[in-house]
Amino acid sequence: MAIRKPEIKFTKLFINNQFVDSISGKTFRTINPATGEVLASVSEAGQADVDAAVNAAKNAVKYNAPWRTMQPKERANLMFKLASLIERDLQYIASLETVDNGQPYSGIVNDMQFVIDVFRYYAGWCDKIRGSTIPIGGDDGGYAYTRREPVGVVGCIIPWNFPMLMLSWKLGPALAAGCTIVLKPSELTPLTALYFGSLVLEAGFPPGVVNVVPGYGPTAGEPIAYHPDVNKIAFTGSTQVGKLIARAAAESNLKRVSLELGGKSCLVVHDTPDLAKAAEIAQFASFFNQGQNCTAGSKIFVHESIYDEFLAKAKELTAARKTGDPFDEATMHGPQIDQKQLTKVLDLIQSGIDEGAKLEVGGKADLKEGFFVYPTLFSNVNQDMKIAQEEIFGPVQMVFKFSNLDEVIDQVNDTKYGLASGIITSQMDKALAYVNRVHAGSVWINCYDNVMPQVPFGGFKQSGYGRELGEESLKEYLEVKSVICRPVPT
């Protein structure tokens, strides 16, 4: 059952298995985006706190530390226990994330189940990480093999749109690989990450394995990115900040980097025996989590033979989306994360109107309380418009008309991003032609945003590099060591 006003239990930094005040004593406020209410004052990490967290993580991954020498099955058991604790507290954690993030509670419950699945999936990998033997020739009995070893201390910097999901996508494979973590959640949504720290402690992880340092990008994120004892950065966020992190990694110690960045994704509706279902898929693609989703399919390309009928259905569904209290079971649409994001979305909507797009539905904000923007639908959009090129990260759907697949693929690829894409069609030859030619890391056929723990996820072009989820993600957290052994000379 949802808890409308969950108790805020942890607001201090979590370092070396202890909750501690920031060294500076600074705090910042976190706000409920549905009401504007201040939820709590949270300790604000700075350089000194990052240093302490990195030092704890470094000690925990030393060659003789308990975490490093732990048997794989014991590491798996800790991860399974952690997943079970999240499952035990699912309703509380979902409620906490609802008030801190604003996504409707029902959606966050689904997120929490995915988080549990991710930790259990990677727990199952702990005793399956292995090297290989390699033939080297000769008759002296020599041999070669590889070892896969943890990369070391990992700085994980996660966004505000899916706090616990993004935490699990990074910590799951990192912990399975035997790494240690310094996690910086967004200053807009720190509460569930801090509660997660308490579950790490309860599960019995050794000190220093997971550390949580909420704070701002320039004063907490940047020190992690530049830190000489951090061996890898795993970042999800904007392309602009991703470039800064890549630069910091290069200018410091050439630490590894994986980046899951922005997107401007498209869904093509080529043909379908069920137009209503196609319109529902497009709604989910565009409006899930109020459009605050890196894979948001905000550009819907519809074949001219079904365009008018599809647009009419899209207008009907968009107008019917209930906006309001995230804890109301009927609510489909919550608030944007803060005033800054609300203003950005409204400015982009206005740019669409100014540039000649036709506003079919929405386009306004509810300014009574919270940061609500009504679901918005545009038609008559062209590729040169600002709304067609920039990532909006808000509830804006655009419907385009096309006549042939070659034409639409060129338009889909006409972007600096390459995170995701989708096509709805009953013709598998058309679907495969689209898959083979579109520049995107994930392509969904007759569905959208269908993400699973075992399937890799990541982008092309300026949507980043590296992969999350699946076996591929483990490679981001492992070093390969080659060993060549010859007999003792006689």
Which one of the listed residues 126, 294, 360, 391 is annotated catalytic?
294
The angle formed by the CA atoms of residues 268, 162 and 282, to the nearest 5 degrees, is 20
Provide the 10 A C-beta neighbour count for residue 25. Answer: 8
Environment class of 388 (CB within 10 Å of its CB; exposed 0-12, middle 13-18, buried 19+): buried
The reply to whether 179 belongs to the active site is no
Which one of the listed residues 97, 260, 391, 468 is annotated catalytic?
260
Alpha helices (H) in 428-468, listed in sequence order: 428-437
Q: Residue 425 to residues 272, 274, 326: CA-CA distances in angstroms?
A: 5, 10, 34
Locate tokens 């989703």: which residue?
A: 293
- Taking the C-alpha atoms of residue 48 and residue 437, their distance in angstroms, rounded to an integer, is 48
Q: Are 403 and 303 in contact (CB under 8 A)?
A: yes
Collapsing DSSP states into helix, strand and coil, what is residue 385? coil
Pairing of strands 420-424, 442-445: parallel
* Contacts of the segment 436-439: beta carbons below 8 A, 24+ positions apart: 437/409, 437/413, 438/409, 438/412, 438/413, 439/413
* Contacts of the segment 485-490: beta carbons below 8 A, 24+ positions apart: 485/142, 485/143, 485/144, 486/140, 486/142, 487/140, 487/141, 487/142
Alpha helices (H) in 178-301, listed in sequence order: 191-203, 222-226, 239-251, 275-287
- Taking the C-alpha atoms of residue 34 and residue 410, their distance in angstroms, rounded to an integer, is 39
Q: Which two tokens stand for residue 431?
A: 């679907």
Collapsing DSSP states into helix, strand and coil, what is residue 361? strand
Q: Are 12 and 43 in contact (CB under 8 A)?
A: yes
Give which of 230, 214, 255 is closest to 179, Cα–Cα.
Answer: 230
The reply to whether 260 belongs to the active site is yes
Residues involved in catalysis = 260, 294
